[in-house]
Every structure is written in structure tokens, then in C-alpha cells.
Chain A
Amino acid sequence: MTASLSRSGQPKHRKPFPTHIIVFLAPALAVYGLFMIYPLFDSLRLGFFVQETRGVERFVGTENYVTLITDEAILQPRLLNALKNSFLFFAVNMLVQNPIALLLAAALSTKTRGGLLYRVLIFSPAILSLAIAAFVWRLLLSPLWGVVYDILKTLGLGAYAQPWLGLESTALITLALISAWQYLGIPMMLYFATLISIPNDLFEAAYVDGATDWQIFWRIKLPLLMPMIGIISLLTYIGNFNAFDVIFALKGADAGPNYASDTMMTFFYRTFFGSGFQKADPHMGAAVAGTMFVILLAGVLLYLFIRRRIRSYEL
């Protein structure tokens, strides 16, 4: 109040040009614009060009995209395979990591002795690099060392022991599970944060009326968790559709065996930089990135569409 009084007491003068706002915004806008926004859109542009001679580019419209979809020798089968694998990679994470994270968060959100310690330990793999965590699992799963197989044998499941990372049928799922294992703590913490922010009186009344923990979880907490489930699904989608590190670290750019673990990002990397069986083509790489851009955007729009449809409860 005093502030506005004393300010209005001053003689009126024209507001000076707000240089300070520009000073505050300029550094971030410069770096973000130049090294993020510009490359993203320029990459999209490059997808519509081809290299003629050194340094000369020619606009070809959608030719790269058409080749990508119709080239039956290499690109089309690789693209379809990578698309399928990317969705599978996402699905495994969504169906395994998400429910377990929710279950753990639900357990931890009730009064638990040592709750912080559990959270610290379960979250700990998430701070490691995926390439490192992947290698840890490669050693554990190695038939040579046999640690995981020892454990399976002790549990009486020895018959199921197979070199999962090496088999065409199981390589991708194993890699997806490694990634799900590593990042379990992130959705767990997000669910946990949402659950402990629900005020107690919301379900104390239900307790008095004789509702069980289980009923309270399904009828009260889960509906309140819906927005967070949506956000985590979206984050899982964005994060896993671009899965690269775990695959590249263990399987290299060719994402073997026989491209069984090839995702969109490894496919993008190979198209861009080339590999033993594919020559490097930045413009085709840009087209692959453009395709991924569209698929990601479609996922985001689907999320926004569903979120508008679903009733959400505000606390």
C-alpha cells in the first residue's frame, strides 16, 4: 500500500523502454533458440532436401519420405521393424514399470518404518547412466558368470534360463525390462508425491464407515491419481520411444541379433551416420527424425484429447 502511494506521489513520466526485461530474457532465448528450436525445425526442413554434389542441396519435396516408406530393399522393412519395436519397448515399460511403481508408492504412502530408506534404495539405479546399468545387467545375464541363472535354479526355475539378451525373440523385451528396472524410482516418486498430498480427512470418513484399505485405494485414491497416471504415461512414451542408450550400449548401432532390438532412435542413428549395411545419409536421417517428430506429436495430442475427456478431480 505504501509502495503504491509513494509511487503515485511522484511526478508522472513516461515509462522507460523495458530494457531490463530484454536483458533478463536474452541469454536464455539466444541459447535455447539457437541450439534447440532452430535445429529442430531446420532438421525438419533438411528432410525435404537431398545432397547433390558437395555443399549443394536440392529441394525434393517429400521424396525422402516416399523412399523411406516404399524402399523395399532396406528402409521400409527397417522402418516398420523399428516402429514395432519402439512401441513394444514403450508397452513393456508401461505395463511393467507403471503398475509396480504405483504399488510401491501406495505401500510407501502409508505409515512405513524406514520409508525414506526404501525410497532412497529403490530410486538409486535411476541416477546411474543407462549405458552403465545396461552393462551391469549384461554381466549378470551372461551365461559365463551365470548369476541370474543361479538364482533361477535356486527358485526351481532353471528350465527357463536362456541367454535372453542374445536371442532374437527375447532381446528387445530384456532390454526394455532393464530400462524399466532402472527408472522404476521416477514414477514411484511421482506417484508417492501425489499420494501424500491427498489430505487425510478425505478418507478418514471412509475408514470410520468401515471401508478397507483396498476399497479406499480403488475408490478414493486411484481417481485422484488419474491426472498423474496420465502425465507419467506421457513421460514414459516420450522417454521410451526415443530409447537408444541401452540398446546402443549392449547391441551397438546394428541393434542385433538381426535387428531384433532396433528402435526408431537406433534406426535414426544408423541412417544418419551409416553402418556396415547402410550408407550415411543425413537427409534421410532428418526424414526419419521428422517421422519420429510426427509420432511423438500424435502421442502428445492423444494425451491432451484423453485428458479433456476424462473427469478429473481437483483437490
Chain B
Amino acid sequence: MARNADAVKYRLRNYKSDLDLRHLATKILKHWMLIMFAFLSTAPVALVVLNSFKARRAIFRNPYHLPNAATFDVVGYETVFEKSQFHVYYFNSLFVTLTALALILLFGTMVAFALAEYSFPGNNLLRLFFLLGIIIPIRLGSVSLLRLIVSLDLIGTLWALIVVYIAGGLPLAVFILTQFMSQVPSELKDAARVDGASEYRVFWLILPIIRPATGTVSAISIIPMWNDLWFPLVLAPGEATRTVTLGAQQFMGQFSNDWNALLAALSLSSVPVLIIYFISSKQLLQGLTAGAIKN
């Protein structure tokens, strides 16, 4: 009897340690896989940035070494600043993206408020109308859009990009913001109305409540605008209006054999964006997660 119980205990313990072992094995496998993919995702850009600070010989001799006193060289950056206007590209990208974003948020919250707050004929139709823009890429309208921009005399200006990006960004912004707007408790709005507030004042008062949503919308609106290559190419390809994406692309086409310049141009166009991303990544990813669950 006693021996039997011992055997059971022994077997149980064995079973448990088996489980522990299996648990540990899955855990190791999981982390190994995640580390591999994290490496695969970050190493390419890291290697480019690393080598952008080296002399040409060192880039090819030992690409995996950190730059040291003997190999350190910023000739690539010098070429980039001499032969192109990266500061202009950055200004253009910032101006276009921030202006468009501000107007997307303003117009988007206004529509979302109207759609969520009032029942009026055509409300649902209007929602569908905006949904259309999420499904159909605005690029397919380029032939007519180019004519329109020419006839409005906006061709070759940053405003051409801004109006197109607002139009392209609004549908998704309206979609997300409407969901948030409809969750704002009506007591709040009614209380304001009782106090004699106008509808505009009510709108203004609830803006702070939907601030988290505007964070999500900002994140998903900025990225495609900043990175777009198509519309800068089609609507504003001139040197003075080049965005970072187009400017870098053209520069790299021109200097495709100057490795120092290539690596420097790539670093210049990716590192600032990555720094902002890493600083705000926690909020950004949480916003995306929350947004995805809501929708």
C-alpha cells in the first residue's frame, strides 16, 4: 500500500516535471522565434546606419564592425548635404503631414460628431459614403485628380498634396472617430444644453473626452502621408516641393554608385522617423490595439 502510494507520488512528480519541461521548452522556442524576427526586422536598418559612418573601404571590408577611429568617416553625409536639400525635404514633409493631419482631425471630429449625435435623413447613407473611401484607393482617381489640381492652379505646390491627403485620410478618421463619439455619455451633452450651450459649444466641450481617439487617428494618418511616393511624384515632383520620401528616392537614383552617400541618405530619411516612433511606440501600439478591438 505504502509502496503503491509512493509510486503514485513519484509518477505524479514525474508528470509535473514533464509538464514543467515541456512548458520550458515551448517558452524557449517562443522567445527564440521572437528574437529571430525582432532581429530580422531591425538588423537591416541598423546595419545601414552603422555603415553610414564608415569610410568606403571599411564598408566593404568589414560591414559588421562598429566604426572606430580609423574607419570613422562622414563623407556620405557631406555629399548628401552638398548635393541635395534634405532640410527642405524635411520641412516639406513636416508641413504637408502636420497641416493635413490638423485638418483631418478637425473635419473628421466635426463629421463624427454630426453622425453620432443627430439622426437626420441620409445619416446611414453618409456613413456608407465615407466607407467607400476606405475600400477604394484614391490613387485610382489620379488621371482626373491631376487635371483638377492643374485647373485649380495647385500643381507643383505642397497644397496639392495637402488637399489630396485630407481627402484620402478622412474616411478612416471618420470611421474611427464616429465609434468613439457614439460612446460619449449623453448626460454630459444634455447638461450643457440645459445650461444654454449652442451645438457648437457642446461639440467643443466634448472634444477633450475623445482625445485618446485622436491619438489613434493621428498615428494611422501620419504614416501613409509621410511615406507616400505616388502623389509627390504625380502632383509635386519639383525640387522645391520634394518630400523626404521622394527626395531620398530621387537622390538614391542619382547617386546609386556612391555607397557612402546612399547609406547616409537612407539613414537621414529613416532615423528621425524611427526615433519619434520609439519614443511614442507604447502609446501608438496601445492605440492601434484599442482601435482594432473597437472596430
Contact = CB atoms under 8 A, between A and B. Distances in A.
Interface string B77-95: 0000000000000000000
Contacts of B269: 129, 132
B128 interface: no
A189 B200 CA distance: 37
Interface in A86-135: 100, 103-104, 107-108, 110, 112-113, 116-133, 135
Nearest to B166: A31
Given A128-B227, A137-B44, A193-B289, A34 B167 contact: yes
Interface in A1-31: 2-3, 6-7, 18, 20-21, 23-25, 27-29, 31
A242 B229 contact: no
Q: Number of contact residues on A: which range applies?
A: 35 or more
A244 interface: yes
Contacts of B42: 121, 124-125
Query: Mostly helix, strand, loop or mixed at chain A's interface?
Result: helix
A286 B163 CA distance: 21
Interface stretch (B4-12, B66-74, B168-176): B168-176
A79 interface: no
Interface in B106-157: 106-108, 110-111, 113-114, 118, 120, 126, 129-130, 132-133, 135-146, 148
Contacts, number: 261
Q: Number of contact residues on B: which range applies?
A: 35 or more
A42 interface: yes
B262 interface: yes
A29 to B, nearest CB: 8
Residue of B26, B106, B107, B143 with most chain A CB atoms under a 10 A cut-off: B143
A248 B259 CA distance: 20
A202 interface: no
15 contacts: A25-B126, A28-B107, A31-B107, A36-B167, A38-B141, A39-B143, A43-B144, A43-B145, A46-B144, A128-B273, A132-B227, A132-B266, A193-B293, A213-B26, A282-B146
Which 6 pairs show the lowest CB-CB distances between chains A and B?
A39-B141, A129-B227, A35-B167, A193-B292, A42-B144, A24-B114
